[in-house]
C-alpha cells in the first residue's frame, strides 16, 4: 500500500474512533493534513474549536501563523505533514457545541489513548524530522525532558515502539506566539536550524 492510501485508511479509522471520551463529544476528528512523503512532520497539541468544525488542523489564527512560519523557510502545508497528539477537540459543553473556551491540553489518559494514531502516521510517513509545537506535543514525544523553555531549539530524538527513530526539534506552539510575540525570535532561530538540517537554501 502506498503512503497516501495508508494515510487515508488511517484517517478513516481516526474519524470513526471512540477510544477515549473526547470521541463522544467532538464534532469531527482531525486526523492530519499534508504530504504523505514529507521530510518533516509538525505535531501540535490537539484540535481547537475551529478545527473541530473544519476537520483540519491549524485553521484559525494560529494556523495562519504556522503557514507564515513554514513559508519563512520555504515549506508549506503541501510539503510537510501536520498532525496533533490528540485528534479530537475537548468540547466545553456537549449540549452546546458553540460554547468556546475549552482549548485545554489533553489529559494524560487522552494522550495515551490517541498516541498510537500519531505513531502509526509517523511510521507511514517516515519523516527525517519531527517538530514538536508546544509543551503538550513535547510531553507526548519526550516525557523524560524538562519543560519546553529549557529544551526549545535543542535537537533530540523520538523512537517508535519498533525502534525507528526520528530527529525531534521542540519549539513554541503558534498559539503561544500569538500570546507572547517576543518568543517569535526564538522560533525563527529554530526554523533556521530546521532549514539548515534539511539542507534548504535561505531563499528556498
Ligand atoms: S482523541 Fe484520539 S483516541 Fe480519543 S476518540 Fe479521538 S481519535 Fe480516538
pLDDT over threshold 60, residue 204: no
Substitution candidate for ligand 1 out of 10, 12, 13, 14 with most atoms within 8 A of CB: 14
Is-contact 150 32, C-beta < 8 A?
A: no
Residues constituting the chain:
204
Distance CA 200, CA 96 (A): 46
* Residues above pLDDT 70, as percent of the chain: 97
Looking at the predicted structure, is the pLDDT value of residue 45 above 90? yes
Helices assigned H by DSSP within 16-147: 22-25, 49-54, 61-72, 108-125, 135-141
pTM of the model: 0.95
- CA 170 – CA 133 distance, rounded (Å): 6
Q: Is 139 in the pocket of ligand 1 (CB under 6 A)?
A: no
Give the torsion through C-alpha atoms of 98, 116, 35, 52, to 10 deg. 0
Tell me if 122 CB under 6 Å of ligand 1.
no
How many whole angstroms separate alpha carbon 121 and alpha carbon 80? Answer: 13
Nearest alpha carbon, ligand 1 atom 5? 23
For 70-86, how does the pLDDT look when each residue is reduced to its tens digit (9 = 90+)? 999 999 999 999 999 99
- Domains belonging to the chain, first-starting first, are 3-198 (3.40.470.10)
Q: How far apart are CA 1 and CA 157, in angstroms?
A: 27
Q: Which atom of ligand 1 is nearest to the CA of 17?
A: 8
Residue nearest to atom 3 of ligand 1 (CA): 114
Give the other-Cβ count within 10 Å of 196's Cβ.
11
pLDDT tens digits, residue range 132-174?
999 999 999 999 998 999 999 999 999 999 999 999 999 999 9
Mean pLDDT, range 171-190, rounded to an integer:
96
How far, in Å, is the centroid of ligand 1 from the Cα of 52? 12
> What is the mean pLDDT of the segment spanning 2-29?
96
Average pLDDT over residues 117-124: 98
CB of 18 shorter than 6 A to ligand 1: yes
* Ligand 1 touching residue 130 (CB < 6 A): no
> Looking at ligand 1, which atom is closest to the CA of residue 20?
4
The confidence band for 101, taking pLDDT boundaries of 50, 70 and 90, is low
Which residue of 16, 22, 91 sits with most ligand 1 atoms within 8 Å of its CB, as the best mutation to test the pocket?
22
**Dist CA 43 CA 148 (whole Å):** 14
Q: Is 126 strand, coil or helix?
A: coil
**What is the number of the ligand 1 atom nearest to the C-alpha of 113?**
3
- 12 CB-side CA count, 13 A: 6
**Count of CB atoms situated within 10 Å of the CB of 180:** 11
Location of C-alpha cell 515502539: 161
Chain-wide mean pLDDT for the chain?
93
Asked whether 83 lines ligand 1 (CB < 6 A), one says no
d(CA 170, CA 161): 20
The predicted pLDDT at position 203 comes to: 64
Q: Give the angle subtended at the CA of 124 by the CAs of 22 and 62, to the nearest 5°.
A: 50
Going by C-beta distance under 8 Å and a sequence separation of 6 or more, which residues neighbour residue 64? Answer: none
pLDDT at 96 (0 to 100): 74
* pLDDT value for 202: 79
Does 187 score more than 60 pLDDT?
Answer: yes
Amino acid at each position: 500500500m502506498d503512503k497516501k492510501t495508508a494515510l487515508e485508511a488511517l484517517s478513516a479509522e481516526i474519524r470513526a474512533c471512540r477510544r477515549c471520551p473526547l470521541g463522544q463529544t467532538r464534532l469531527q476528528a482531525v486526523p492530519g493534513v499534508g504530504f504523505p512523503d514529507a521530510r518533516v512532520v509538525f505535531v501540535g497539541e490537539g484540535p481547537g474549536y475551529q478545527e473541530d468544525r473544519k476537520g483540519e488542523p491549524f485553521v484559525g489564527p494560529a494556523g495562519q501563523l504556522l503557514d507564515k512560519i513554514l513559508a519563512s523557510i520555504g515549506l508549506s502545508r503541501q510539503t510537510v505533514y501536520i498532525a496533533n497528539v490528540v485528534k479530537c477537540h475537548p468540547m466545553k459543553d456537549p449540549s452546546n457545541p458553540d460554547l468556546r473556551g475549552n482549548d485545554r491540553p489533553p489529559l494524560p489518559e487522552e494522550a495515551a489513548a490517541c498516541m498510537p494514531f500519531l505513531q502509526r502516521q509517523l511510521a507511514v510517513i517516515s519523516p527525517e524530522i519531527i517538530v514538536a509545537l508546544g509543551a503538550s506535543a513535547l510531553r507526548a514525544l519526550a516525557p523524560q525532558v524538562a519543560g519546553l523553555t529549557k529544551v526549545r531549539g535543542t535537537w533530540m530524538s523520538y523512537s517508535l515502539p519498533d525502534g525507528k527513530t526520528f530527529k525531534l526539534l521542540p519549539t513554541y506552539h503558534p498559539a503561544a506566539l500569538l500570546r507572547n510575540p517576543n518568543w517569535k525570535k526564538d522560533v525563527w532561530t529554530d526554523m533556521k536550524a530546521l532549514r539548515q538540517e534539511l539542507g534548504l537554501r535561505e531563499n528556498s
